[in-house]
Structure 1
Amino acid sequence: MDNYIFELDENVTRENVTYKNRFGIEIAADLYRSKDFDESERHAAVLIGPPHSAVKEQGSGIYGQELAKRGFVALAFDPSYNGYSGGEPRHITSPEVFTEDFSAAVDYLGTRPYVDRDRIGAVGICGSGGFALSAAQVDRRIKAVATTSMYDIARAASKGFHDSMTEDERIHALNEMAEQRYADFEAGYPALAPRNTISPDNPITEEFYEFYTTPRGYHHNALTQFTITSIMAYFNFALLDKIKWISPRPILFVAGDQAHSRYFSEDAHEAAADPKELVIVPGANHIDLYDDTSKIPFDKLDEFFTKNLA
């Protein structure tokens, strides 16, 4: 398991671990702890989900390392069907399974003898922000949730950017996916969405192009592609319709002031019940909060989890 986009800090250890979610899929994850970690004590822990289509060797690993330096047990995982995690067919995206992956991470952390299972929090980056919140709506073992550059994938897929999808466009998209199911069935395997959806010529996706296709963030497991037909599930299942259920557990939303995705965090913050907080990072775009340690407010994340996982 190589090609991490960041250097391992000399004060941190990283251990490759595996465990299964409730679907029986083996999850590959990296466990980060400080070098002076005392296993005889019980510690607060934070699990970190990657951006949608990303893997643990990228931004979520950076978060894991930084939180481990601050004394937390941190777990960065690959979602089911992606990265080094199991599951067939490959490169499926699923609102239910990706939400389950957060609860499976809680299962793993809460059964470590050095973790206090009453002090487990979650971080979701980009699309994982929606999955982390969705998991916390029903999994009350998650005591605090933070999102950065949050995307509600279900809303984006079924309604378009800024909810701009028309009824005709929705019907057309669903008709195309329905026809693709026939093609997949006859082929015996599901087709992937085209790679060119990540483009330097599109004002929204040029940020993703800069990250995923250049040395800054490239990883061979992060294809930025999912099976075409798996997107259909997001038209049928809302992720955040029960966000008020998270209360009284706290939520921290972090977004860049230049991020095209900022409205997802602002709208989710408005819909959530207290306690909640919205932090807007000056000069940051969407992907800056994936890997730019000069802009990601790790001190704020440390403060949030230290207070709420006390």
Structure 2
Amino acid sequence: MKAIFDFKSADEIARENKWCRKNPFGLLYEGAVSANEPGKVQVRPIAYDNNGIRIAANIYTPADWSADGGKIYPAVCVAHPNGGVKEQVAGLYAQKLAERGFITIAADASYQGGSGGEPRYLDLPSIRTEDIRRMADVIARFPGVDANRISLLGICGGGGYAFNAAKTDKRFKAVATLSAFNTGLVRREGFLGTQKDTVAERLRAAAKQREAEAAGAPVAYTANMLDWPKEKGLALTQDLYRDGYEYYGLTHRHPRSTFSATVTGLLEMAIWDARDGASLIDQPLLMIAGDKADTLYLTQGMFNAATGTKDKELHLIPGAHHIETYWKPEYVSQIDAKLGTFFSNHLGSASLKTVSK
């Protein structure tokens, strides 16, 4: 069977990540793989096509994996947050799950990160959902993966899109989210409902901008708070944005990560809601969030809408805010253990291949 992905060469990896001296793979999280050593979890940067766009992804393999080995493994696709890239929190949990015996894939969304596509930073639900489906296409063909045991983890905005993908794509045998974010609801009403009264005005502005771009004007983007001075970013009053500024702008900054999105994207975002059709999810569902997160209402809304599954759990991490679930060791360890148990219960562990006679 012809492969649908290409492994990246060491030279290509080095060129792409020349800005990062600490890690040749560009990974920006504690305990990240820095070299592919025998007997340990390894990272394999790959590229593949998705509707004409070249997607950049990392596949993490367990310590006992080999391309011609005698085992088959369950797999997990990991979808990154809005504005994030695969080298940040998505990579962290992909690596953690590989340490538990799963083959995992974390990919940059189309138009974002190291993936191709113009205009840059286009973030639309239809595209992000298709990106997740494409990850399943790809990982199912990776050596050693049991195509009948693929699951899904979505983080923040990726959690909302993973939730959406699971409604119809039943290749995902179990679905988990971490600090899930309903991007359509927030773009429509504002975070915590603070912009409900301005949606019509903002839609008119987005339509006007689309008209201008159709006539040749440059693409317009929403403000990128990562460009703000440190004192302004850290003075934000909402935990999500203040902590987000610190994580994405300071401690885990990546040159391909941004908080910007196209202004015209609101035209699609305003009529999308992760809760719509949620009753179609009939797979086991685990939704994890910090009990102090100001985004908790978004996770709760999706969880309550998922009435079609008999196996669902909302698991709260005591004391955690939204962004803290991305990196704080005391929270990461709890989340890692919960995810490991959930996926093991529903996917099983690696097993010997059946040899046909």
TM-score range relative to shorter protein: over 0.9
For structure 2, the residue ranges without an aligned partner over 5 or more in a row are 1-15, 18-25, 349-357
Corresponding residue for residue 5 of structure 1: 28
TM-score, structure 1 normalization? 0.94
TM-score (normalizing by structure 2): 0.82
- Give matches, 1:122-201, under 5 Å: 122-166=152-196, 168-196=197-225, 199-201=233-235
Q: Tell me if the contact between 1:15 and 1:31 (Cα under 8 Å) persists in the aligned partners.
A: yes
For 2:272 and 2:297, how far apart are their aligned partners in 1? Answer: 20
1:37 matched residue in structure 2: 65
Task: Find the partner of 1:226 among 249, 256, 261.
Answer: 261
* Match among 274, 278, 292 for residue 258 of structure 1: 292
How far off its partner does 1:189 sit? 3.1
Matches within 5 A, 1:1-310: 1-2=16-17, 3-6=26-29, 7-8=32-33, 11-21=40-50, 23-38=51-66, 39-166=69-196, 168-196=197-225, 199-204=233-238, 205-214=241-250, 216-247=251-282, 249-273=283-307, 274-296=310-332, 297-310=335-348
Residues 236-259 of structure 1, C-alpha deviations (whole Å, 9 max, x = no match): 233331111111x11100001111
Matched position secondary structure for 1:294: helix
CA contact (8 A) 1:45 1:115 kept: yes
User: How much does 1:307 deviate?
Assistant: 0.6
What SS is found at the alignment partner of 1:213?
Answer: helix
When the two structures are aligned, how many residues end up with a matched partner? 306
Q: Which moved more, 1:11-20 or 1:143-152?
A: 11-20
Q: Secondary structure of 1:112's match?
A: coil
Contact 1:82 1:92 in 2 (8 A): yes
Q: Is the 8 A contact 2:174 2:346 kept in 1?
A: yes
Contact 2:42 2:63 in 1 (8 A): yes
Q: Which has the larger radius of gyration?
A: 2
Separation in 2, partners of 1:162, 1:225: 19
Output the CA distance in 2 between the equivalents of 1:142 and 1:195.
34
Cα deviation 1:174-224 (Å, max 9, x = unaligned): 01111222332344431121123873333221111111110x210000021
**1:50–1:128 CA contact under 8 A, matched in 2:** yes
1 CA distance for matches of 2:261 and 2:46? 25
Q: CA deviation at 1:164?
A: 4.4
User: In structure 1, the residue corresponding to 2:47 is in which secondary structure?
Assistant: strand
Which string of whole-angstrom CA distances, capped at 9 and with x for unpartnered residues, describes residues 60-87 of structure 1?
A: 0101110110000010110000011111
Residues 96-105 or 187-196, more deviating: 187-196
Pairwise CA distance, 1:112: 2.1
State the AA in 2 paired with 1:298. Answer: D
Tell me how large the CA RMSD over aligned residues is.
1.7
Q: Which runs of 5+ in 1 are unaligned?
A: none
> Is the 2:225–2:259 contact (alpha carbons within 8 Å) kept by the matching residues of 1?
no
Asked if the contact 1:126/1:148 (under 8 Å) is kept, the reply is yes
Deviation at 1:160, TM superposition (A): 2.1
Contact 1:95 1:239 in 2 (8 A): no
- Distance between the aligned counterparts of 2:130 and 2:278, measured in 1? 16
